[in-house]
Structure 1
Amino acid sequence: MPDASVHHRRPSVWSRLIRDSGGVVGLVIVILVLLIAAIGPFLAPYGVAQSDLTNRLAGPSAAHLLGTDELGQDLLSRVLVGTRVTVYVAGTSVLLASIIGVTVGAICGYFGGWFDGIVMRVVDVMFAFPAILLALLIVAVLGPGLNQLIIAITLVYIPAFARVSRGVALSVRRELYIEAAYAIGLPVWKTIVRYVIPNILSPVMVLFTVTLASGVLVEATLSFLGLGVQPPEPSWGNMLNAGKAFMELSPWGVLVPGGALVVTMLGLNLLGDSLRDILDPRL
């Protein structure tokens, strides 16, 4: 006789995700952006610094599918290469922030005590500042540049991951299986890795996706202000900064990187909302 529990088995995250139209759209956009980041520079028809001075501020044409900027540089080539820069900076920063934040938050929530108190006070202070303002402050201290930008965005988002993981660790440490692990003499680090971290993964996955969208925006904002990726290396932010002065003559310098930024953030937010609906037990 078949097990009745089979009929009540919850569908997997993947099967629920593909039934959500918003999640599917978000996933497709994210996959396309990652694919462009991986192979985009190889598809670029021109070098990022290659100029066509006879076609400055030109609109889309057979020679330049998305037009050119004020220096006659091909916008398609620059936005393709800029996708890799943006994905690298935002992805690396948020990944580092999640690893550090989850580790610190899990330790604070599991052990508590004076260390927890100090870390949470620092987190509260950092949460008092908007993300972009705090990133601006850190970059102003460190100076402009790619590595400084990664450090700044990482520091900005560590508190969010620390707070989420701490909350989960606080609730998990009271569970019976934690007491059972103590009873059989399981080392503390094994208890955290085996029982605490897996419970943190679901909310962290949702937070990672949403934070990645915010990280893309922060990177673009700082590069737009001249504090992030420095020319001639292209990023969506510094392309927007260069194009804004010539909007009346040619809007393509703003529309192309701005459209890439909007579509990417839309995809990440749609995917994050879908994952939240699937993984949040309260929903």
Structure 2
Amino acid sequence: MIEILHPTEVARARDTGALVADILETLKSRSTVGTNLLDIDRWAKTLIREAGARSCYVDYAPSFGRGPFGHHICTGVNDAVLHGRPHDYSLADGDLLTLDLAVIHSGVAADSAISFLVGDSRPSESLALIETTERALSAGIAAAVPGARIGDISYAIGSVLGAAGYPINTEFGGHGIGSTMHQDPHVANTGRPGRGYMLRPGLLLALEPWVMADTAELITDADGWTLRSATGCRAAHSEHTIAITDDGPQILTAPKQLQQ
């Protein structure tokens, strides 16, 4: 299903996106050396409920997962890049942490992910991973103009990831979003320009470039959810929900300091 939202729904999506951005920034500030992933999940639960919203993840049960996800946020550490299920682990200095949050508020969902380093250590490989996914996300957003096609976004993202030398997995990528978290169209992180669905005002997309340092192959943890690099290398993931408008793409999940 592809939803085209009414302008009033897009306005509500902006509010949901702002909420997601605020929660992620709060959780990032609290994620220090010694912080337990289960505490991050509990904080997310509290912040979501205080806002009168609900997590998209608690009851999330797609075909590739094992039963309902059962937590309020995805927490991936180091080689865990997607669907990281919170567990009893305390963050260490230099850990690469990915937080992926999707909530529904006033009937509209928003989805965003950030990757960052914990503590004072700054491994250069990890910084490069994060920076590349952020640049790829910016390139994908810039390509998301009315009349362009999904393939144009995929090509823009893939060009950045490929130029940096990272293998690209196309099994998981971006997606449409609206009254539910995951909708069509699928937005692969590489592709051919001029192909696929034509972008229209009112379409919401969650764009999410992610890479692993030396492989495109994923393995699944025993929890049935957490996806890790097959080689144990580190990974990073950046995501924003955007709205296609007559004036071009608008980022709905940008932190306040990045909003114009």
**TM-score, length basis structure 1:** 0.29
Which is strand-richer, 1 or 2? 2
Structure with larger Rg = 1
